[in-house]
C-alpha cells in the first residue's frame, strides 16, 4: 500500500478503503513507522492483522494513546476465534482503544493534528495515522506480462506445488506468490527451489503445520488447525482442551493478565491438530510444540510427557480434562 495513494487495499481484497481529502503527509505505513523522528502522543491504526496489532502494542507500551480500527468483530482474522478474543481482551486491558467493525472515511489536517473521521461519524485527533491493511504483491515493475507469466487478480505470481510458474524456466518464492506470507516460509520455499533446480532433489515446500506468532504484548503463537478449521475438516468429533492461569511473574507484580493455552484434538485418532498459546514466551514454547505436531503427535503422547516444573510450558502436557467436545460440521462454541 502506497501512503501517497487515495486508496489502500484491505486485507481481504474487495473495494478496499477510500479516504477522501488524503494528502501524502497524513498517513504512513509500517515502513515509515520504523523511522519516525518523534514518538507520537496519539496514534490511530487501521487494520486487524499482525502489523496493526504489533504496532498497537509497541506504541501503547511506550505510552502512546492508541486507537485500533478494524473491519471484523475481532482482530487477527484467520487465527483461532477463541484466541483472537483473548488478544482483544488483553489489548483493551492494557489501555488500547479497540474499534471493531469500523473504518476510516476521512483525514483532515488541523492545527491540533490529524482529524480522523470514521464511517460511524466518530471524530478524533491523532499525531500519526498508520495504515496496516495489507500490501499488494510487488510485481508491476517486473514486466511479467511480457513473457507470459500468469498472475492472480491481486497481482501475485501463480505457481505450482514446486514454486514453478506457467513458464518452465521461471520460478517464484516468498510473499510475491501470496501463499503463506512469513519470512521463514519464504526461506523454506527458497531452499526447496534450490534443491529441486540445483541439487537434483525434487522438493515441494510443505505449508502444513507452520508455526507463527503475533508479537503483541503478551504474544500469541499458534501451530496447526484452529478449532474452526478442525471442525470443518474433521470427519468426526473434535476435542478441545484449554488451560487458563496467572503466570507467577504476574502473581508477584499483581497484573491480572492470564495465560491461555489450547489444544485441538481429533477425537477418533487422538492426533493433536492444533496448539495455541497467548502469554509470556508463547513463541518460544509453540516452536517446540510445532515439532511434535509435525511428527504427528497424539494427545496420549502429550499426556505421557513429564512436564518441567515450575514452568508455563508444562501446562501443555497436563491438560487432562476435555473443555468441550464438538461434532464435525457444527458451529464451534468458544468462550468469547
Determine the Cα–Cα distance for residues 252 and 229; give it in Å rounded to an integer: 37
Angstrom CA distances, 142 to 21, 148, 149, 174, 206, stand at 31, 12, 10, 15, 27
Query: Is residue 2 helix, strand or coil?
Result: coil
Closest to 87 measured CA to CA, from 282, 326, 286: 282
Cell representation of residue 156: 501475485
Determine the Cα–Cα distance for residues 213 and 221; give it in Å rounded to an integer: 4
Name the helix (H) or strand (E) containing 250: helix 248-253
Beta carbons within 8 Å of 98's beta carbon, 6+ residues apart: 68, 70, 75, 88, 91, 92
Q: How far is CA 75 from the centre of its chain?
A: 9
Determine the Cα–Cα distance for residues 197 and 169; give it in Å rounded to an integer: 10
Cell representation of residue 41: 502522543
Residue 252, judged by CB atoms within 10 A of its CB (0-12, 13-18, 19+), counts as: exposed
DSSP one-letter code for 176: G
Contact 217, 57 (CB under 8 A): yes
Contact 203, 292 (CB under 8 A): no
Q: Say which residue the cell 510443505 belongs to.
A: 206
Angstrom CA distances, 317 to 102, 241, 313, stand at 40, 11, 8
> Which residue numbers are catalytic?
309
Amino acid at each position: 500500500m502506497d501512503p501517497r495513494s487515495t486508496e489502500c487495499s484491505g486485507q481481504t481484497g474487495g473495494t478496499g478503503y477510500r479516504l477522501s481529502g488524503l494528502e501524502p503527509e497524513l498517513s504512513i505505513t509500517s515502513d515509515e513507522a520504523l523511522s519516525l523522528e518523534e514518538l507520537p502522543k496519539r496514534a490511530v491504526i487501521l487494520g486487524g492483522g499482525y502489523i496493526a496489532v504489533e504496532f498497537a502494542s509497541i506504541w501503547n507500551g511506550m505510552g502512546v494513546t492508541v486507537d485500533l480500527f478494524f473491519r471484523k468483530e475481532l482482530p487477527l482474522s484467520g487465527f483461532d476465534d477463541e484466541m483472537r478474543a483473548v488478544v482483544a481482551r488483553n489489548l483493551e486491558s492494557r489501555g488500547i482503544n479497540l474499534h471493531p467493525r469500523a473504518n476510516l472515511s476521512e483525514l483532515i489536517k488541523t492545527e491540533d493534528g490529524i482529524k480522523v473521521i470514521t464511517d460511524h461519524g466518530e471524530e478524533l485527533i491523532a499525531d500519526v495515522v498508520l495504515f496496516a491493511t495489507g500490501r499488494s504483491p510487488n510485481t508491476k515493475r517486473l514486466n511479467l506480462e511480457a513473457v507470459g507469466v500468469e498472475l492472480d487478480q491481486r497481482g501475485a505470481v501463480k505457481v505450482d506445488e514446486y514454486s514453478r510458474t506457467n513458464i518452465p524456466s521461471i520460478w517464484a518464492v516468498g510473499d510475491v506468490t501470496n501463499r503463506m506470507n512469513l519470512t521463514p516460509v519464504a526461506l523454506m520455499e527458497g531452499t526447496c527451489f534450490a534443491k529441486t533446480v540445483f541439487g537434483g532433489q525434487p522438493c515441494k515446500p510443505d505449508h502444513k503445520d507452520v508455526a507463527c506468532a503475533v508479537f503483541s504484548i503478551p504474544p500469541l503463537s499458534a501451530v496447526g488447525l484452529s478449532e474452526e478449521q478442525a471442525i470443518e475438516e474433521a470427519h468426526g468429533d473434535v476435542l478441545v482442551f484449554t488451560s487458563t492461569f496467572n503466570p507467577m511473574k504476574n502473581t508477584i507484580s499483581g497484573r491480572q493478565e492470564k495465560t491461555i493455552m489450547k489444544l485441538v484434538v481429533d477425537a477418533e485418532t487422538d492426533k493433536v491438530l492444533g496448539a495455541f498459546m497467548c502469554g509470556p514466551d508463547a513463541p518460544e514454547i509453540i516452536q517446540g510444540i510445532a515439532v511434535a505436531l509435525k511428527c504427528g503427535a497424539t494427545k496420549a503422547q502429550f499426556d505421557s510427557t513429564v512436564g518441567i516444573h515450575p514452568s508455563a510450558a508444562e501446562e501443555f502436557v497436563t491438560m487432562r480434562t476435555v473443555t468441550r467436545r464438538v461434532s464435525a460440521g457444527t458451529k464451534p462454541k468458544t468462550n468469547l
